[in-house]
Amino acid sequence: MTQAEARVANREEAILNAERNVRNIENQLRLLIGRSDFQSQGTRLAIVPLPPATPMNVSAAEDYQQALEARPDYQAARLGLNVNRFTHRYARNQLLPRVDFVGSYGYGGLEEKFRTSREQIRDRDARAYSAGLVVRVPLTFAQNRGRARAAKLAMRQSAADLIRLEQDIALDIATASGEITTTQKRVEVAWHALELGRQSLSNEEKRLKAGTSTTFFVLQQQELLAQVENSYARALADQRRALATYQRETATTLERHQIALPAE
């Protein structure tokens, strides 16, 4: 009994810190769901036990193509590359000689008297037109060449950034896919360990009632069971985090949760 009381005393501080952490996390949860009643004391939120997540079949290769089509950061990078391509083409065109076709057409009054000239304008008698070509050849191309080189470098940089982004997306999807498989196995193993821990505690309590065990061993089994329960809870949380990460990387979060954004 003395050993048991000593263990309880040693864990009172841990319990107080855990209760404070629960309050802090509850306040964070209230903020996420739009609540403003952040209370250090008072009504606690009712948290439903977290069940295992529904298994999700993933295909990294197929989801990678979908991610390229749906991810806004990738589409923004593609548009940026197209803009830089057009800028480079425009800068190259500025290095070429410029040839413009010009022309004019009109009519006027050529008589000495104002009245007679006005009548000619009204009747369009004195018509005039002209046509020609204007060729402009700059004496130096230093400024335009510098702009063309800068545009070319910007285009190459955008293309390299796009390739790097594609590689990062592929790596992130592969990593998230592996995390889903790993966390699924962790949940199964942790659940099996939890069942064994509960059975071991029940057996130890029966031995205590029969007089073949002590409270020390019962307390030890309780501590082991608490550790297994924590491991199982972490495995469940990591499993959902892995699913959410995979959905984020493949840009399917809204689709999975059946959320439709209003069209502008």
Residue 254 has pLDDT above 90, yes or no: no
What is the pLDDT, as a whole number, of residue 167?
Answer: 94
- Which of the listed residues 109, 136, 163 is the one where a domain comes to its end? 136
In a domain, 187, yes or no: no
Per-residue confidence at 211, pLDDT binned at 50, 70, 90?
confident
What is the pLDDT, as a whole number, of residue 2?
Answer: 73
Residue 224 has pLDDT above 70, yes or no: yes
SS3 labels along the chain: CHHHHHHHHHHHHHHHHHHHHHHHHHHHHHHHCCCCCCCCCCCCCCCCCCCCCCCCCCCHHHHHHHHHHHCHHHHHHHHHHHHHHHHHHHHHHCCCCEEEEEEEEEEECCCCCHHHHHHHHHHCCEEEEEEEEEEECCCCCHHHHHHHHHHHHHHHHHHHHHHHHHHHHHHHHHHHHHHHHHHHHHHHHHHHHHHHHHHHHHHHHHHHHHCCCCHHHHHHHHHHHHHHHHHHHHHHHHHHHHHHHHHHHCCCHHHHCCCCCCCC
What is the pLDDT, as a whole number, of residue 137?
Answer: 78
pTM flag (> 0.75)? no
Domain extent for 127: 98-136
- The string over 28-60, giving b where at least 16 C-beta atoms fall within 10 Å of a residue's C-beta and e elsewhere, is eeeeeeeeeeeeeeeeeeeeeeeeebeeeebeb
In a domain, 196, yes or no: no
What is the pLDDT, as a whole number, of residue 42?
Answer: 59
Per-residue confidence at 255, pLDDT binned at 50, 70, 90?
confident
Residue 138 has pLDDT above 80, yes or no: no
In a domain, 243, yes or no: no
What is the pLDDT, as a whole number, of residue 119?
Answer: 76
Give the position of tokens 């699913």.
243
Each residue's pLDDT tens digit, 9-46: 777 888 888 888 888 888 888 888 887 777 666 567 77
Each residue's pLDDT tens digit, 110-134: 667 777 777 777 777 777 788 999 8
User: Is the pLDDT higher at 253 or at 202?
Assistant: 202
| Least confidently predicted of 108-117, 149-158, 173-182 | 108-117
What is the pLDDT, as a whole number, of residue 199?
Answer: 94
In a domain, 170, yes or no: no
- CA distances from residue 251 to 65, 67, 68, 160 in whole angstroms, order as listed: 11, 6, 9, 22
What is the pLDDT, as a whole number, of residue 39?
Answer: 67
Residue 73 has pLDDT above 70, yes or no: yes
In a domain, 22, yes or no: yes
In a domain, 31, yes or no: yes
Most confident stretch, 8-17, 192-201, 252-261: 192-201
Contacts of 29 (CB under 8 A, 6+ apart): 45
What is the pLDDT, as a whole number, of residue 4?
Answer: 66
User: Is the pLDDT higher at 54 or at 197?
Assistant: 197
What is the pLDDT, as a whole number, of residue 170?
Answer: 92
Q: How many domains does the chain have?
A: 2
Q: Mean pLDDT over residues 163-185, rounded? A: 92
In a domain, 154, yes or no: no
- Which of the listed residues 136, 164, 195 is the one where a domain comes to its end? 136
In a domain, 241, yes or no: no
